[in-house]
């Protein structure tokens, strides 16, 4: 049998190569995509680095309160290239969250959550929640001061939930206090969640390939000339973006490692000594600011979790027929205010609690909720529908 006939026989019974070419190399993409569409590739690379480095770290980690801190110190100081693998992991978390937040902001700005892409949006938000869960569980594992006290704050907040709060916190602890059982469970949760993220990413990409990507104009391509194959046009564009992404990644690892984590987490956890200021990592700061902006533990927890859950309803809260904020001047300014509110919450959550930052947190929280619950539903009633239809006619791709 000739090589060509062998290839044809294999392709007819296991057509993975043809499917890959159709779905990834020849996949039709709108020709007007900008560099904000590169962040999906950035997320994929950051996730690969995190999973691979996490497996190597898990080999040398001991999930007990007597050995966890020393095992991490051993990775940093005694194991060949251990410091690099750990820095790769810590830096990868920051790069993943940065790319994920920008990816979501881009989707909000260009209306990528609207029909027919609701499932793409929902799977992306599920990915965000799983990443946050994995990052929280992973942050506890080094068993430093901030790891211990950060976990204590979150578990105490969970106890405020009616009916399910106490059973859930007791299940996480597995004991009367944060100890060996809890640390082991967080280790398993961190590891399992990481592989669940891979499954959600696969589902996210699959839903995207069913409906196709959005574009900056927010209008579906109507002619073949308005599209380009993914390869070589967007593989080249993604490759250039990845070079810049990896340069920043390398800069964080080799030149600015201290900004990736808090100094107090290099001190072993001591339940008898409470840090002066309990601070989360930067990617949790906005939600921590909301949590402490409310005097009630239950109220703070509901508002902090609701600030993410609110995003799931965005496709139905925004009833405008126009996707992209490019063509919606009022929405553009309102959305910039929401982005500013999120940034202010991040700054407030990473600062000691003072009267000024407390009121900034409250004002930013109010605006964040007002944007999704009031501005998005009411704005289409103010906008000119005739102007909207003319946009569809003059900007068709």
pLDDT in tens, 1-15: 555 555 566 667 667
Does 192 share its domain with 102?
yes
Residue of 97 and 162 predicted with greater confidence: 97
**3-state DSSP call for residue 395?**
coil
Does 268 share its domain with 389?
no
Cα(51)–Cα(169) distance, rounded to whole angstroms? 27
Does 54 share its domain with 178?
yes
Cα(323)–Cα(108) distance, rounded to whole angstroms? 9
| 327 annotated as a binding-site residue | no
Sign of CA pseudo-dihedral 17, 23, 28, 32: negative
| 231 annotated as a binding-site residue | no
Domain boundary among 226, 260, 278: 278
| 190 annotated as a binding-site residue | yes
Domain boundary among 217, 245, 278: 278
Answer whether residue 223 is part of any domain: yes
What value does the CA radius of gyration of the chain take, rounded to a whole number of Å? 23
| 395 annotated as a binding-site residue | no
Cα(233)–Cα(29) distance, rounded to whole angstroms? 9
Does 312 share its domain with 221?
no
Does 270 share its domain with 303?
no
Phi then psi for residue 291, to 5 deg, are -60, -45
Answer whether residue 219 is part of any domain: yes
Does 243 share its domain with 306?
no
Do you find a cis peptide bond into 116, omega within 30 degrees of 0? Answer: yes
* Mean pLDDT in residue range 298-304: 93
Answer whether residue 396 is part of any domain: yes
Cα(211)–Cα(126) distance, rounded to whole angstroms? 19
Confidence of residue 393 (pLDDT cuts 50, 70, 90): very low
Cα(169)–Cα(385) distance, rounded to whole angstroms? 51
Tell me which residue of 57, 91, 58 sits closest to 256, measured CA to CA: 91
Q: Could you report the per-residue pLDDT of 381-391, keeping only the tens digit for each?
A: 887 755 554 55
- What is the per-residue pLDDT for 385? 53
Does 290 share its domain with 272?
no
Does 165 share its domain with 244?
yes
Answer whether residue 42 is part of any domain: yes
Answer whether residue 6 is part of any domain: no
* Mean pLDDT in residue range 289-308: 93
Strand positions, DSSP E, 114-270: 227-229
Answer whether residue 20 is part of any domain: no
Please name the residues in contact with 97: beta carbons below 8 A apart, sequence gap of 6 or more: 131, 135, 282, 283
Domain boundary among 226, 259, 278: 278
Domain enclosing residue 67, as ranges: 34-278
* Mean pLDDT in residue range 14-23: 74
- What is the per-residue pLDDT for 262? 78
Does 110 share its domain with 153?
yes
- What does DSSP assign to residue 26? S
- What is the per-residue pLDDT for 269? 92
Does 253 share its domain with 105?
yes
* Site of tokens 């398993």: 188
- What is the per-residue pLDDT for 116? 94
* Mean pLDDT in residue range 59-75: 95
For helices 118-140 and 145-158, angle between their N-to-C axes, nearest 10 degrees: 120
| Residue 268 tokens, joined | 């072993």
**3-state DSSP call for residue 322?**
coil
Cα(191)–Cα(168) distance, rounded to whole angstroms? 19
Residue of 172 and 129 predicted with greater confidence: 129
Share of the chain above pLDDT 90, in %: 69
- To 5 degrees, how large is the angle CA 25–CA 31–CA 33? 95
Do you find a cis peptide bond into 232, omega within 30 degrees of 0? Answer: yes
Does 243 share its domain with 388?
no
Instruction: Name which of 19-23, 199-203, 218-222 the model is least confident about.
Output: 19-23
The CATH number of residue 353's host domain is 1.10.287
Answer whether residue 11 is part of any domain: no
* Site of tokens 């001061």: 145
Number of domains in the chain: 2
Does 328 share its domain with 254?
no
The CATH number of residue 163's host domain is 1.20.810.10
Answer whether residue 155 is part of any domain: yes
**Percentage helix, strand, coil, to 5, in the chain?**
75, 0, 25
Residue of 300 and 260 predicted with greater confidence: 300
State the average pLDDT for the chain.
90
Confidence of residue 47 (pLDDT cuts 50, 70, 90): very high
- What is the per-residue pLDDT for 160? 85
């Amino acid at each position: 049998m000739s090589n060509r006939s062998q290839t044809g026989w294999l392709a007819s019974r296991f057509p993975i190569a043809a499917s890959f070419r159709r779905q990834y190399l020849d996949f039709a993409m709108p020709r007007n995509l900008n560099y904000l569409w590169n962040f999906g590739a950035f997320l994929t690379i950051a996730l690969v680095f995190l999973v691979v480095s996490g497996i190597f770290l898990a080999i040398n980690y001991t999930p007990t309160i007597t050995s966890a801190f020393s095992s991490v110190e051993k990775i940093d100081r005694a194991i060949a290239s251990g410091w690099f693998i750990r820095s790769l992991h810590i830096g990868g978390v920051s790069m993943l969250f940065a790319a994920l937040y920008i990816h979501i902001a881009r989707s909000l700005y260009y209306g990528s959550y609207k029909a027919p892409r609701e499932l793409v949006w929902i799977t992306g938000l599920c990915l965000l929640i799983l990443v946050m869960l994995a990052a929280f569980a992973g942050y506890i594992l080094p068993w430093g001061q901030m790891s211990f006290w950060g976990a204590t704050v979150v578990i105490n907040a969970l106890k405020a939930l009616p009916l399910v709060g106490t059973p859930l916190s007791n299940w996480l602890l597995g004991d009367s206090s944060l100890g060996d059982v809890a640390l082991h469970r967080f280790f398993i949760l961190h590891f399992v969640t990481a592989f669940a993220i891979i499954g959600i990413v696969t589902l996210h990409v699959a839903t995207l390939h069913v409906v196709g990507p959005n574009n900056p104009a927010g209008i579906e391509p109507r002619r073949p000339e308005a599209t380009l194959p993914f390869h070589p046009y967007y593989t080249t564009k993604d490759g250039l973006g990845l070079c810049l992404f990896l340069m920043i990644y390398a800069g964080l690892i080799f030149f600015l490692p201290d900004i990736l984590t808090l100094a107090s987490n290099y001190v072993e956890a001591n339940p008898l000594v409470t840090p002066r200021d309990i601070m989360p990592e930067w990617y949790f700061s906005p939600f921590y600011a909301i949590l402490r902006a409310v005097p009630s533990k239950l109220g703070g927890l509901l508002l902090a979790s609701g600030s993410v859950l609110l995003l799931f309803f965005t496709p139905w809260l925004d009833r405008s027929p126009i996707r992209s904020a490019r063509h919606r001047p009022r929405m553009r300014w309102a959305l910039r205010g929401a982005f500013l509110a999120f940034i202010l919450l991040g700054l407030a959550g990473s600062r000691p609690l003072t009267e000024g930052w407390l009121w900034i947190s409250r004002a930013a929280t109010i605006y964040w909720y007002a944007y999704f619950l009031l501005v998005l539903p009411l704005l289409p009633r103010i906008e000119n529908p005739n102007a909207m239809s003319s946009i569809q006619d003059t900007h068709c791709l």
